Every structure is written in structure tokens, then in C-alpha cells.
Chains A and B, each alone.
Chain A
Amino acid sequence: MVLLEVRNVVKSFGGLRALQDVSLSVAKGEIRAVIGPNGAGKSTFFNVMTGLLKPDSGDVVFEGEPITGMPPHRIIRKGIGRSFQITNIFPRMSVFENVQVALFSHHRTGNNPLSLARKSTRVGEEALALLDQVGLAEKYDSSASVLSHGDQKRLEIAISLASRPKLLMLDEPTAGMSRFESRETVALLQRISREQGLTLIFTEHDMDIVFAISEKIMVLQQGAVIADGTPAEIKANPEVRKAYLGEEITES
């Protein structure tokens, strides 16, 4: 079943065409990588899909419903979660509160100004369960700003998961992590995807990770799709080799 369908998206900044006629189709439960050299348009593509940017033309369809040009907060409500390349958390709130506030938003309890936040036990238990899932349950009381980089990334994943997304979009989930942290994070993502049938779309520079976990890979170059297929197909694709991957493929 197709979960997300992107059709012929075009986006320019001034004279620069950041995305030229990009199309993508992602099935439910799939793990899909979007790769490409720096400036290939990966972040722009993510921003278009999550409503931060409005495409010049083309459609984004999620579960059969067009979401093109909707503001981020409405797109999130449709079931698309997002984590960012730069760690994007609420720094001066506790780890627990970071997830709690995401749950308030998901359950729409944030609209009630007269109930008490700490009295909401259901949200509290859910928050702890989510923190447990990413391995941060013990640190629930510390300020998010003092966490290590890897922990902050994991916290961000917990925040994104709080809105129970059907599709999670991760912009370089392992950026800036040590090798050990990266491996842990990747294992975590794979596990969550498997357990919950969560669809993942992610960008990544580390090719080992890309080929280890993705089921399909899309390659962008200068805003255009130059290849889209299984890891094996991508490895064999001469254009990809020439344009981008080259030695890295031959090495592995």
C-alpha cells in the first residue's frame, strides 16, 4: 500500500532550481533512504514534504490526501513526524517535559488551560514509556540542554514518536554521533520500524548505514532524481557510481 506519494515537485530559489520534477512513492512500513551530495536538494525535499516550504508546482499526497502547502502543524497531525539535522529539542526543559509536551499536543490536551500538567498520569506514563523505548528513562529529570549529543538526538526521536506518526522523516539522524552512538541509533530506528510498522524516510551521509538498513534508496543530484531502487540496483547503477558514490561502492 502506498503511504506517501510525491509527484513532480518543483522548487526554485531565485534562479536556482533546488528541486526539479522530483517524484517519490513510499510504501507502508518501508525504510527509504534519500541520498545525494551536499546541495543535492535533500533538505529542501524534506522541507517541502513537511510544509516548511511550499513547492512551486507538484503534489504531495499522504494516505490518498493532498497535503501540499499545508502548514507544518497540520501536516504533523496527519501522521508525519520529523526530526532535524541540527538537534532540535526544547533545551531548557527537562527530558520528561520534552516528551510530555509532545504528548499534550498529540492528545490535544494542550488546549485546556485549566487542568494541571503534572496531574495527567496517562500522559506521564506514556512519556516514560517513550523515554524507556529510546533508553533515556533514567535521565527523565535532567535538563535537556546538558544531555550528550547522542542523547539529545535520541530525545528528539522520542519527541517525534510521541505524535504516533505513521511516517517518520529523519534528516541525518546520526549526524555528529560517534560510531558507537550511530550504531545504537540505527538499531533503535530499525527496531521501532519493525515493531510498530512505522515507515521511515531518512537522509544520511554514512553509506554503511544507508546500505545496511534501507529497503529502497533514492539518489538526488542537483535537485533531480538520478536513480531510485533497491540497494543492489543503486550499487550497480553506473550513473550513481559516476556522479556520486564512486569509490565508496567499490570499497564495500
Chain B
Amino acid sequence: MDLSFLTVQVLSALRQAAFLFLISSGLTLIFGVLNILNFAHGALYMLGAYFVYALTLHLTGPAGFLIAILAAPLGVALIATVIETGLLRRIYMQEEIYQLLLTYALVLIIDDLAKIVFGPEFKSIPMPGMLSGSVTLFGGTVPVYTLLVVVLAPAVALILWYLLYRTKTGKVVRATSSDREMADALGINMSALFTLVFAFGAVLAGLGGALAGPVRTVFPGVGTEVIIESFVVVVIGGLGNLWGALIGSILIGSLETIGIIVFPEFEMSLIYLLMVAVLVVRPWGLFGRPLKVKALSEKNLAMEAQEISPVHFSVHPLVRWAPLLLLLLVPLFAGRFYQYLLTQIFIASLMAIAFNLLLGTTGLLSFGQAAFFGVGAYTVGLLLTKGGFGTLPALLLAPVVTAVVAGVIGFFCVRLSGVHFAMLTLAFGQLIFTVAYKWYGLTGGDNGIQGIPVKTIPLGGLGALDLGSNRAMYYFVLAVVWLSVELLRRFRSSPFGATLKAIRENGQRASFLGVNIHLYRWTAFVVAGAFTGLAGGLFAMMEKSISPEIIHWSKSSEPVFMTIIGGIYTFAGPAVGAVVYVILNSYLVAWTEKWALVLGLVLLTLVLLLPGGVVGFVNEKARQTLGKLRCIRKWSFSKSATS
């Protein structure tokens, strides 16, 4: 390895680190003060790049370029201020998942708006002549722009250090970051501080986008790639810790550069592997500390009571069986398209209900469910195409294999909670995704598996079950899903389920009842994983072709949506959410290209106005009105309970 090569690579790594630092420093700052993991941070980065693009169309020359680079972050800050004061502020009292979801809805909305305003194509931003050249350094050719970025980022870091450690406002920010309650008690104006920090974090993201725009391309959705990388950086460094963001950026920047040279196939796997390794050894990141356990002071309890109430009437069994009867009759008058649509809904429902065993019942937000769905689907796909298995054995092995995988992953994840849990499941999920995506020998890589042969299922002396027709598949999936859902319902209504709820409500108290909370969480994780794997297996049978996209993290957000749409603290909610989601998806995609925008707006509305979800809302109303009439109450509801 000669010096010129080394110089080029080191500078390339540093440039990468510089971009990462600009984005993740803002991300970590916002988390530290607002306690929100801002999914929309990547979208703000994208806006920074687009603003530079738009400005350089009108402003030419080096001076115009400089003005654009400086003005773009301010524009981003303006948008961020509107977001914080208009939307985020309204849900600070909610559980953290709602804040995460609101920012995720913003990603969908901003991405589609960018597509409308700037068009769907890739944009490149021209650099002024004096910056587009390159110089020779130690025999290696280095672009001038790289040098500029590598010098600018540390300068920004220095300014950041000065602002945080040498100014009064900076001290307030740090104090709030380390102890929010204390800062509140000291009479710091929290809402002004939150707006300031959110806008400032947006400036950093905007600057990152503005600087990266000219060397990377800009397109709608570019922020989504960036945000995942930044999540990795801040989680490795320790959420809320600026040093962590710096070291994390350098680590990831270097690893990416080395990865491209040494293991070009598995560059992305390496990053997630590092994240998993760090979190397994140091769950709070390299420089992070455990987040303070929310003390349940009286004030806090009163706040919780105003939130979504999990108290509800459980529905009379007869009411529960009516839909099944209806669904059994549907194929008699509905066509093949509707049968296919409903089959999709069944599978989505199973995935969402299994997911909600973790979120609603246990209080754990998993962002890696797509991985379990994928493991189940690939198990069936591989066993049928390469293993020569029968259909039923292959399908039955799907939840078994997934349970084993979930058991291993869960072992590491269940020690964490909240955002850390979400991030570790995300990392494991992406690790599995990158493996499926690149391991051509086994999984077919990005081609996936096509033409999965679904053989007839022998029924002993009763002949055989042929799943060739849509109708047969419809009934088969309905039977499997209904059985699984009934099992999951039983699971949740059992003493085990009650204990999971107790863990969600107050983990510390639960452990002082003698409950091994890690074991309980782990079991819930494995059960949720197994049923998600079964859903995946059904999916592979129905579609007869699978591709790694079903494992990508964006697929993991689907059960989250469904659950929020339907109702987090209801059992049937996720299934209702699945109906809404799948129908919206099938019709909107045909009707408009702006599917993400509509979905984002739906999600935003729900989070802000109907956080209990559709079923939660109906339940609440039913409890208020129907509950008064004794005869109806007696017939349609059994005793009140919480979920």
C-alpha cells in the first residue's frame, strides 16, 4: 500500500465522516434535549441539498454558490421551526413512539412534496470551477471540494463546542440534556429552548445536505438512506452525546471506506455488524449513559391518565365470531381480485397482531419485524424450491426457524427498552436484509426466489388439498391466520399476558413482584417473531415469489402503521389497521402516485387527533354510550378490562 493510495482513502473516509458528523450531531443534540429521535432529520438533510440546487439555478459563480450553501440551512431551519411549533409541540406529553411516528410521517410527506416540487429524477448540483478541480497530495489526487469539507466539518465542530461550552444558552442546553426535570424546575423556558434546539439541529442537517449535495446526487428519498446511517452513528456513539456522534462518524466513515475496498459485497453488513457488536457490549453506546427511568411522580401519573386509555370492554365472543362467518361466505359472491386482496389483508393482520404483542402489550417498539417476516418467507421459499419439502412441513417449519432466529436476536434486545430497543432491532433486521440481499448462493440475492412450487397438501385418506386456485388459497390462509390470531388472543388474555402488561406499565415494580422481566420480554419477542415468520411463510406461498425488499426496514414500519391506525391498546386494532392499510395501498397506488403523501397525512392526523386508533376510538365511544344501556352492554360486552 503506497502513500498516495493511503492519502486518497484517508481523505475519502474523512469526507464521509464529515458529512455523517454534520447530520448526526444535530440528530443527537435534538435527542439530548427534546428526547425525540428525529426520523425527519434525513428529510431535512435532503431539503438542504434541494435548496442549494434551487438557489444555484439562479445564483451562479463562486459567490452565488457560497450564498446558496449558507442560505440553504437557514431555509431548513425555518421549516424545522414550523414543524416544531406547529406539530411536535402538541405531542410532547405522549409516549415516545408517537413522536417517532410523527417525524416518520413527516418523512413521507416531505419526500413526496419534494417529488412534486423538484421532480422525481436525480439532480446534480454544479460546483463552481475553482472548487471542482483537484490537487495532488502525497502523490494522490484529491478533489479540492473534499479538502474543503474535511476542513469545514471540524470548524463546525469547534463552533458547536464553543456554543455549547462557552455560552450561557449552551450551558442551559447541556443542563437540560443531562437532567430535564431539574432544568424544568429551575425555570428554564422549555418551549423556547426546544424550538431553538430543533431549529439548530436542522441547520446542521441542512448544512450537511448543502455540502453533500454537490458531490452526491439529490433525489426524493435520499434522506431515508442518510437517516439510517446517522442512526447507526448516534446509537454507536451514545444517544444524546456529541462526542459519541463525532467518534461514531469517524468510525463509520472509516469502516465504509475500508469496507468498499476489502469487502465490497458486505460493506453495509459490516456497519450493522459493528452497531450490533457495540450495543451488545455497551447497550447505551460508546459514550452514552442509561436513559433515566421515568420516575412515576404524581404529576407524571396524572399525565399518563390523560393519554390513550387502555381501559376497554372486551367484546362478547359472539361478536368476535361474526366476522369469521362473513369471511367464510365472501368467496361465494366476491371475485378473484377481492379474494386476493383479502388474503393479503389476512397475512398483514397476522403480522400486525403479532407485532402488537410487543408494542401494545409489552411496550416494546420493534423496528425489525420485517426480518422475521423475511426469515419465514425465505424458509418456505427455500424448502419448497431447493429442499423438496412438502407444502405443509415447509410452512410449519417457518415459525420454528423464525423462533430460533428471534430467540438469538431477542436475547440481546430485551435487555434494552424504548428507543434503544427499536434501534437494536433495526440493526439486526438490516443485518439480515443485507445478508439476504447479497448472498446469491443461498437466497438468490436481489433477484430473490421466483416460481415457488406450492404442492398439494395430502390429507391422509381424504384426498389432497390443492391450493392452486385463489379461493383455495383464500380459505387456507384464513384458517391458518384465524387459528394463529385466536392463539395470540389467548396468549394476551392469559396470566402471562397480564404480566406483560404489568411490565409495560412499570418494569421495576414488576421485577419486585418476583417477575423475571427479561425472560418475559424474551418470550413475547420469540412468540411475536414466530407468528410473524408464519405470516411470512404464508406470504411466500401466496405470492410464489419473494425478494429481499420484504426484509428491508421500511417494511418493518408497516405493522407499526397498521397498529397505530387501528389502535395500539386494542387486540383487533392492528387487524383493522391492516384492512385500511392494504386497501389504501392497493387503491391509492392505482389512483395517485402520491401514495406516501396520503399515508403520511393519514398517519399525522391519527397521531395528532386519534392516538388511540380507530378501534380505540370506537371502543371509547361505545363504552360511553352503549355501556349505559344494560341490555346492550350485557349482550355485546363482557366485563371491563384493560389491555
Contacts and interface: CB of A to CB of B under 8 A. Distances in A.
Interface of A: 50, 71-74, 76-77, 81-82, 84, 86-94, 97, 100-102, 104-106, 109-118, 120, 123, 141, 143, 145-146, 149, 152, 159-160, 162-163, 176
B122 interface: no
A87 B495 contact: no
- Number of chain B interface residues as a range: 35 or more
Given A73-B515, A111-B496, A94 B296 contact: no
B447 interface: no
Given A73-B513, A92-B304, A105-B514, 18 more contacts: A50-B512, A77-B514, A87-B296, A88-B509, A89-B506, A91-B506, A92-B310, A101-B501, A102-B513, A105-B499, A109-B495, A110-B496, A112-B494, A117-B495, A143-B311, A145-B302, A160-B512, A163-B514
B298 A90 contact: no
Given A92-B642, A141-B640, A143-B311, A112 B305 contact: no
A244 to B, nearest CB: 27
A88 B506 contact: yes
B407 to A, nearest CB: 16
Interface in B494-509: 494-499, 501-502, 505-506, 508-509
A250 to B, nearest CB: 34
B316 interface: no
B328 interface: no
A120 to B, nearest CB: 7
Contact of A110 (B490, B499, B509): B499
Given A117-B497, A118-B493, A86 B639 contact: no
Nearest to A109: B495
A108 B507 CA distance: 17
Given A92-B309, A104-B499, A114 B490 contact: yes
Given A88-B296, A163-B513, A143 B309 contact: yes
A146 B639 CA distance: 19
Interface of B: 295-298, 301-302, 304-305, 309-311, 490-491, 493-499, 501-502, 505-506, 508-517, 520, 523, 527, 639-642
Nearest to A102: B513
B490 A97 contact: no
Contacts of A117: 493-495, 497-498
Contacts of A72: 511-512
9 contacts: A74-B514, A88-B506, A88-B508, A93-B310, A101-B501, A104-B498, A105-B514, A116-B490, A159-B509
B641 A118 contact: yes
A143 B511 contact: no
B491 to A, nearest CB: 5
A172 B491 CA distance: 37
Contact of B304 (A91, A115, A152): A91
B297 to A, nearest CB: 6
Contacts of B523: 113
A207 to B, nearest CB: 24
B505 A106 contact: no
